[in-house]
Amino acid sequence: MNLVEKDLKYIWHPCSQMKDYQDLEPIVIKNGKGAYIFDIDGKSYLDAVSSWWVNLFGHSNDRINRAINEQVEKLEHVIFANFTHEPAIQLAEKIVNITPEGLDKVFFSDNGSSAIEVALKMSFQYHQQTGKFKKQRFAALQNAYHGETLGALSVGDLDLYSKVFNPLLLNTLRLESPDCYRCVYCKSRDTCNVECFANLEKDIILHHEELCAVIIEPLIQCAAGMKMYPPVYLKRLRKLCDEYDIHLIADEIAVGFGRTGKMFACEHAGISPDIMCLSKGITAGYLPLALTLTSAKIYDAFYGDYFEHKAFMHSHSYTGNPISCAVANESLLIFETEDIVAKNKILEKYMLKCANTYFSENKNIGEYRQIGMVGAIELVMDKNSKQGFEPQKRIGYEVYKKGLNKGIVIRPLGNVIYFMPPYVVNQHDLDFLYSRTLEAITEVLNQ
């Protein structure tokens, strides 16, 4: 049996209909360097999705490789209750210093969904312990995505992941989300005054007594199809949550670590959430690690004598893994020493230029939108009507398959094709990516 046959015999892949693998066999990747991955036949692919939004500084990065090697020689793992270690301490201190004001305490876990579970449990327990017993519910936006464990699915709103599990999920208050591409309120994005906020506001006010927290993906609802909305929305939400004693949970798992052009997306709005979740890019795409940050105020509500039963009894075996922490520390050092956020501005501009060059004429590209180093194309039947393709046609998936032949990885979200490249791409790579994407789209839609 070759590797592909063995893979299909033994492995159940994530987020996939396994039957699709009959047509499109799993691609066996042997190695990676920079923005490219290489299969066992030596074919190269530009990793335009940063290996599921995690990679920042390329594959097999020399600095990160060295940091891992140095750490494994010292300590690979140790229980994190009652014990601690320098990589975690250094990381926590640094993260508190670079995240928005007021996020003073760091709770460790090992994947994004867990960081969300931690956030929800923390907020719920806080309100119980401070006597606000009626606050037992969460609010979240339409089209939200916060991960796939049951709590995280409960606040999410994408049927694709959650529909079958509905009987198991928490009763989340669903709030109208911004939908800038097909906005029914604003005539133009330039004059946007987030009129869409009014409905959310009404619902929150109506239910405020029962709400622990509102959870949100700042600026970009990524899994929903890279839906982007303006920072002023976050400002309004922060104010509303303050007025009604509701926690604001910022899920920066996808948008943190420079993706939106600032280190954290909340910075665009100048707000501090009560709880912030980080993962994905935190280890530059190398190892599992997640953090849930919160305020001293929330932390203090859990502080007391053991038999008051106020402690936060959440744990995972690999909590605070030292190798992951060492990688995160090295990644943050790369941000600093190489002035990554400033350098990315040049790449951002170039992405926009490419979009202008390649996409502006195509009638099936309804819109190209971009914040920082996230660019997205919404494929539609016709630009003017904005009418979408029927999902059954799987246009995005067909474009993706064509892209693979052309050496680019642009795994779609429905009929949205997006670019979230590692920060090590150069202008040549971006021209290659955008021009090949246009070719793939044209071939699929004119065939």
Ligand X SMILES: *Cc1c(COP(=O)(O)O)cnc(C)c1O
CB of residue 116 to ligand X, shortest distance in Å: 6
Task: Check residue 217 for interaction with ligand X (CB under 6 A).
Answer: yes
From 16-24, 39-47, 141-149, 357-365, span contacting ligand X (CB under 6 A): 141-149
The nearer residue to ligand X, 221 or 437, going by C-beta atoms, is 221
Residue number closest to ligand X, CB atom: 112
Task: Check residue 366 for interaction with ligand X (CB under 6 A).
Answer: no
The 10 Å CB-count burial string (b at 16+, else e) for 93-114 is ebbeeebbebbebbbbbbbbbb
The two beta strands, 44-47 and 408-409, are: parallel
Residue selected from 50, 71, 113, 344 as contacting ligand X according to rule CB under 6 A: 113
Task: Check residue 229 for interaction with ligand X (CB under 6 A).
Answer: no
**Which contiguous run of DSSP H or E holds residue 19?**
none
Three-state DSSP class for residue 226: coil
Binding residue per annotation — 268? no
Task: Check residue 172 for interaction with ligand X (CB under 6 A).
Answer: no
Q: Are 327 and 284 in contact (CB under 8 A)?
A: yes
From 129-137, 143-151, 263-271, 346-354, span contacting ligand X (CB under 6 A): 143-151
Binding residue per annotation — 42? no
Residue count of the chain, please give it. Answer: 447
Q: Of 242, 259, 292, whose CA–CA distance to 370 is shortest?
A: 259
Q: How far, in Å, CA of 425 to CA of 436, rounded?
A: 15
The nearer residue to ligand X, 127 or 280, going by C-beta atoms, is 280
From 40-48, 140-148, 341-349, 360-368, span contacting ligand X (CB under 6 A): 140-148
Site size for ligand X, by CB under 6 A? 15
Binding residue per annotation — 251? yes
Task: Check residue 112 for interaction with ligand X (CB under 6 A).
Answer: yes
Measured between its terminal Cα atoms, the distance across the chain in Å is 36
Q: How far, in Å, CA of 306 to CA of 200, rounded?
A: 40
Q: Which residues in the 251-280 window bind ligand X by CB under 6 A?
A: 251, 253-254, 279-280
Residue 159's Cβ-side half-sphere holds a number of Cα atoms within 13 Å equal to 1
From 86-94, 142-150, 169-177, 316-324, span contacting ligand X (CB under 6 A): 142-150
59: amino acid identity, one letter:
H
201 phi-psi bin (left φ>0, alpha ψ -120 to 50, beta other): alpha
Q: Which residues in the 46-85 window bind ligand X by CB under 6 A?
A: none
Task: Check residue 225 for interaction with ligand X (CB under 6 A).
Answer: no
CB of residue 280 to ligand X, shortest distance in Å: 6
Phi, psi of 375 (to 5 degrees): -120, 145
Binding residue per annotation — 145? yes
CB of residue 439 to ligand X, shortest distance in Å: 28
CB of residue 394 to ligand X, shortest distance in Å: 22
CB of residue 415 to ligand X, shortest distance in Å: 19
The nearer residue to ligand X, 251 or 378, going by C-beta atoms, is 251
Binding residue per annotation — 12? no
From 196-204, 217-225, 261-269, 423-431, span contacting ligand X (CB under 6 A): 217-225
Listing DSSP states for 315-370 in one string gives --TTTT-HHHHHHHHHHHHHHHHTTHHHHHHHHHHHHHHHHHHHHTT-TTEEEEEE
From 82-90, 145-153, 181-189, 326-334, span contacting ligand X (CB under 6 A): 145-153
Q: How far, in Å, CA of 379 to CA of 416, rounded?
A: 6
Compute CA 366 distance to the chain's CA centroid, rounded to the nearest angstrom.
23
What is the token pair recorded at 136? 């037992």
What does the binding site for ligand X look like in residue numbers (CB under 6 A)? Answer: 111-113, 116, 145-147, 217, 222-223, 251, 253-254, 279-280
Binding residues for pyridoxal 5'-phosphate: 112-113, 251, 316-317
Q: What residues are designated binding site for substrate?
A: 52, 145, 280, 315, 411
